[in-house]
Structure 1
Amino acid sequence: MSNVKQIMKKPITIENSASIFKAMTLMNNSKISRLLTTNESGEIVGIITEKDIGFFLLVNDSEKNLNEIPVSILEKPLIQVNESTPVEDVAHIMITKNIGSIGVSSSNTIGIVTKTDLARYYIQNYVGKYRVGDVMTVSYSSMYSDDPLYKIVSKMIEDKVSRLIIKNKKNEAIGVVSFRDLFGVSMTMGNDNKVVDNSDSLISVIFPRKGFLTPSGFGGNIIAKDVMTPNVVTIDYNDDLVMACTEMIDDKINGVGVLIDNQLSGIVSKTDVIKALDKLK
């Protein structure tokens, strides 16, 4: 078994006094889903994730813009392991603690390991071990392309998911809405005290910033197809799990649809891969 030091990455950090908007911008520009947080002395003290920010944005109805809200209100303690910890043991800790990343320490924090790192490790070490169907989640949350954004957001909160499959009226999967898609809306609209809706080129309506959940604001004037990522990456039930890992890493996504007889029948995610690794320890 390999140890965690062999697969860790150097962490990208942000001071916890910085704004949520700055954290979102850094995540977006670096194409990552988490940042380690530091205090004024530069010491790593916690972590903030895309999911933390996402759920905050979904329920927040503050009048403050995103440049006025500090990272410190969302940061969480960083769970860490020693650099010599076996990778499969790290998978077990992630599953039991319900976390998506873990710090690596020697005398201090020297790295971070994420679900993506573990998926890459699975590719390198477990070809032929599991089929996609052995580990997939046989369910998924979905909405329709003409559903307003506030209903999409409410569904994500209700089902406690960070992504939704979007369907057309023929019940065909045509896209995905994830936290990252919602970040684009937040960074455009949530950083202003007022929001201009330009969905109709002949009409400009100004709405106060009241979060995603208000039908009278931009949550009621943007529909799913306006913010979704088009197309759903899919893989067959009988394919090697390594193929699913490769798709997720290559496309920089956290899950892919699973087809049974060419019908979308579930999802396999990086979390499912981590659960598979946990079984192998």
Structure 2
Amino acid sequence: MNTKNLKLSKIIIKPNTISPNTTLVKAREILLENKIKRVIVVDKRKPVGIITEKDIAKKIYGLGTKSIKSVKAKEFKPKKIFTLTRNNSIQECAKMMKKYGISSIIILNDDNTLEGIVTKTSLVKIFLTTETTPIKVSKIMKKKVISAEPSDPILLVENLLMKYRISRIIIKRDQKPVGIITFRDFVPAKIPQWIADSADPKEVQEYKFKKGFNEMDSNQMSYLFPFHATDIMTPNPVTVESDKDIQYAIKLMIKYNISGIPVVKKSKLCGIITKSDIVHVLI
């Protein structure tokens, strides 16, 4: 079967939606309860925006002492939304995702109302069920891995996420992956409370986006905000051996509802494979 030419109508899913007046608290609850990464903002059945885990994590840090209960979806800076129709192909969808560095495409009806959504997960699943050519993880993984140590301040971790525009940081000890941190780990309610109890939000913002960290900056961050990667990371991350087929990696992603897996060789970190890497194969 030619996977690339399949129509998107085969893989459209129904997204979780909110109205422009939905609060940040409610949007966060929907993400956490449903273990999803995004909600679609809909006004009169038409999509007007997307709010992701990353958006909420960034917004929380910028609130300071302002209550998150008072922030509504319409207050988020509008994101450009990318759309296709059910008649577009999987390959067209994959190309759009790669070109704009996005993880989801909104599917519109003829009257521009919301029909559904296609995500990288949708494409990865169809790849698993239709692609028969074996490809080793080592052939498509990224060898350069952005990582941190368990003792690194969490502000440094988030700075790395922002700086490199990535979705996860591998926490390693002695070259072995011992944890992973994604934007989802910055979403829970305890994060803004930590800031309120531990630091001036303006100083937090300054260090969060600072370029060119040095040892003095790291020491200052530890003083301002004494929480570390080990406090919020998911320990014992799922890993995959570099000589496995990518179908095996996909099954792990689906089973554990994750989008990226550290790649190891003899237990040592040697790369990372993500849904984006698999989507690029479809192109």
Q: Is the 8 A contact 2:54 2:184 kept in 1?
A: no
Query: What is the aligned length?
Result: 263
Give the aligned partner of residue 68 of structure 2.
66
**Superposition deviation, residue 189 in structure 1:** 4.0
Deviations 1:39-71 (A, max 9, x none): 2x343222122233334445x264323222222
Post-superposition, which runs of at least 4 consecutive aligned residues in structure 1 deviate over 6 A?
A: 216-219
**Superposition deviation, residue 152 in structure 1:** 1.8
- Give the residue type in structure 2 aligned to 1:99: I
Match status 1:171 vs 2:175 = yes
Deviations 1:9-48 (A, max 9, x none): 0121011222222211111111110111022x34322212
Give the aligned partner of residue 94 of structure 2.
91
Structure 1 pair 193–144 and aligned structure 2 pair: CA distance change class (3 A)? closer
- Give the residue type in structure 1 aligned to 2:52: T
Extract unaligned runs of 5+ from structure 1. Answer: 197-205
Q: 1:220 aligns with which of 193, 218, 225?
A: 225
Larger displacement relative to structure 2 (100-109 or 44-53) = 44-53
Q: What secondary structure, in the 3-state scheme, does the structure 2 residue paired with 1:17 have?
A: coil
Question: Residues of 2 paired with 1:219 and 1:130: CA distance?
Answer: 47
Deviations 1:229-252 (A, max 9, x none): 001211122211111111111111
Give the aligned partner of residue 230 of structure 1.
235
Give the aligned CA root-mean-square deviation in angstroms: 2.4
Q: 2:47 aligns with which of 44, 49, 52?
A: 44
Aligned residue runs from structure 1 range 124-203, under 5 A: 124-168=129-173, 170-184=174-188, 187-190=189-192, 195-196=196-197
Q: What secondary structure, in the 3-state scheme, does the structure 1 residue paired with 2:121 have?
A: helix
Question: Residues of 2 paired with 1:54 and 1:119: CA distance?
Answer: 26
Percent sequence identity is 26
Question: Residues of 2 paired with 1:174 and 1:45: CA distance?
Answer: 40
Structure having the higher helix fraction is 2
- Give the residue type in structure 1 aligned to 2:73: V
Larger displacement relative to structure 2 (127-136 or 101-110) = 127-136
State the TM-score, normalized to the length of structure 2.
0.84
Q: What secondary structure, in the 3-state scheme, does the structure 2 residue paired with 1:95 have?
A: helix
Give the aligned partner of residue 26 of structure 2.
22
Give the aligned partner of residue 199 of structure 1.
none
